[in-house]
Amino acid sequence: MTDSPESDTPPAADAPGDGVRIGFDLGGTKMYACAFDADYKLLGKDRRKTKGHLGSEAGVDRMIATIQDCLDDAGVTAQQVIGIGVGAPGVTDLDKGVLLNTANLGWKDVPLTKLLGEAFDCPVTLCNDVDAGVYGEWKFGAGKEKRCVLGVFPGTGIGGGLVYEGAIFRGAKMSCMEIGHMPVDPLGPRSGLGQRGTLEAVASKLTIAGQAALAAYRGQAPHLMKNTGTDLTDIRSGALSESAEKDPAVRRILLDAAEIIGTTIGGVVNLLAPDVVVLGGGLVEAMPKLLVPAVKKAALAAVMPAFRGAFDVVPAELGDEAAVMGAAAWQQRQADSGKG
């Protein structure tokens, strides 16, 4: 049994002769697994709450169970899996396949590729979750085959990723592009890692929800108070979107966050000159008409004049499938090159 009901579940299908590849998105609040054939046709899927507070050992057990339920949904066996690609939040040791740390789960030094490889007896490739999402958008979606694609995904934190000339941009050993941990306010609140005034400390969905709850408590957001209340676990993207239509204070909170995100993106554009900036995550999906133009306006104001006509800011196209498709496709690329 999973923690959330199935929806739009595809019928069980015979596994293709060349096997099944799994894409896995480990998020701060949920985990999601999809099984794909060689043409990235969806064969089956499963998701459940991450429950990161239970610790990494329980979390890995939940990952294994989610993958197994995904295979059951696809009507295939573990023996037919030829590879698993995992996108995980936080900094990853890409060569060893270890999740080093994550601000929003509290897990440290988790050897994910080893543990999942032993469970399913197949190659496993680990990458950062936003890197996986951006790679998915580069290969299949909003940034398809552009030379340089920057992705920014506001969520529980704010993740960043970059695909440059068809490859995920990375450090010598570790993932990088941690845009959410860029300092933007030296006197701002501390992040989950204890750093003061980082982008995600001042503009993530979690921070926005906290500010919206405070506005509701003060009587400045009556629609939010009436329909959702002040419990942070209930103030999700959909609730914020509805409140933004009725509560000017919440709309202002969202636009302020978008301005900070856009200004930070402008600084990254000055460094890397991407062709396109892809904005993803549930917050953007819930209100693209509000957030995407606001982020773009702030980014254009922050870049050097020469870059203003050289890039675009667009919403992601793949939704929840971006990270799972990207993780699976990256695993295939690494396997084809002998690296995974």
What is the band of 27 on the pLDDT scale with cuts at 50, 70, 90? confident
- The answer to whether 137 and 143 have CB atoms below 8 angstroms apart is yes
- pLDDT above 90: residue 85: yes
Provide the angle, in degrees to the nearest 10, between the axes of the packed helices 112-120 and 56-74: 40
203 closest CA partner among 231, 182, 221, 229: 182
Predicted local distance difference test score (pLDDT) of residue 261: 98
DSSP, res 155:
S
The whole-angstrom distance between residue 65's C-alpha and the CA centroid of its chain comes to: 21
- How far is the C-alpha of 339 from the C-alpha of 334, rounded, in Å? 5
What is the band of 339 on the pLDDT scale with cuts at 50, 70, 90? confident
Predicted local distance difference test score (pLDDT) of residue 340: 66
User: Going by C-beta distance under 8 Å and a sequence separation of 6 or more, which residues neighbour residue 269?
Assistant: 150, 277, 299, 302, 303, 307, 311
DSSP 90-116: SEEETTTTEEEE-TTT--EEE-HHHHH
129-140 pLDDT, tens per residue? 999 999 999 999
* Residues β-bridged to residue 30: 49
Percent of the chain with pLDDT over 70: 94
222-256 pLDDT, tens per residue? 999 999 999 998 999 999 999 999 999 999 999 99
Classify strands 98-101 and 108-110 as parallel, antiparallel or unpaired.
Answer: antiparallel
- How far is the C-alpha of 245 from the C-alpha of 106, rounded, in Å? 35
Average the pLDDT over each of 61-70, 171-180, 260-269 and give the range with the smallest value. 171-180
What is the band of 2 on the pLDDT scale with cuts at 50, 70, 90? very low
CA atoms within 13 A on the CB side of 122: 20
The whole-angstrom distance between residue 85's C-alpha and the CA centroid of its chain comes to: 14
- How far is the C-alpha of 81 from the C-alpha of 122, rounded, in Å? 7
- How far is the C-alpha of 317 from the C-alpha of 136, rounded, in Å? 10
What is the band of 175 on the pLDDT scale with cuts at 50, 70, 90? confident
255-313 pLDDT, tens per residue? 999 999 999 999 999 999 999 999 998 899 999 999 999 999 999 999 999 999 999 99
Burial of 44 (0-12, 13-18, 19+ CB in 10 A): buried
- pLDDT above 60: residue 318: yes
- Can you say whether the dihedral through the CA atoms of 158, 159, 164, 170 is positive or negative? positive
Q: Which domains, from first to last, does the chain contain?
A: 20-134+320-336 (3.30.420.40), 144-315 (3.30.420.40)
- pLDDT above 60: residue 17: no
What is the band of 6 on the pLDDT scale with cuts at 50, 70, 90? very low
195-225 pLDDT, tens per residue? 999 999 999 999 999 999 999 999 999 999 9
